Amino acid sequence: MHGLLSQPHDRSGRNAVEILLIGPSKTLDSERFAGLVGGFIENGTATFLSVRPAPGMFSRKVLLNDLIGPALAARDLATIRR
């Protein structure tokens, strides 16, 4: 799986991980990626996804916990993969 993981701590001292996508976007649709993200979120880790920007653009980082946490709890893989 293409990606880079780092585990910084946010200001509140809560564990956090940033997943930087450095490969093809189809990586995001893999079961391995869904399992990785799901495992972090289920363990209470703040999980961010960052995408490497095009030259001259700003990077983007999004917190995945709020976006897919409810679907993860419901085991709704179809929603998670969207």
Q: For 57-77, what is each residue's pLDDT tens digit?
A: 887 888 999 888 888 878 777
Model confidence at 81: pLDDT above 70: no
Model confidence, pTM: 0.76
Model confidence at 7: pLDDT above 70: no
**Any idea where the domains of the chain sit in the sequence?**
4-81
Determine contact, residues 49/19, Cβ cutoff 8 Å: yes
Residue 63, SS3 per DSSP: strand
DSSP annotation string for 14-61: -BEEEEEE-S-GGGGGSHHHHHHHHHHHHTT-EEEEEEPPPTTS--EE
Q: For 27-51, what is each residue's pLDDT tens digit?
A: 777 778 888 888 889 888 899 888 8
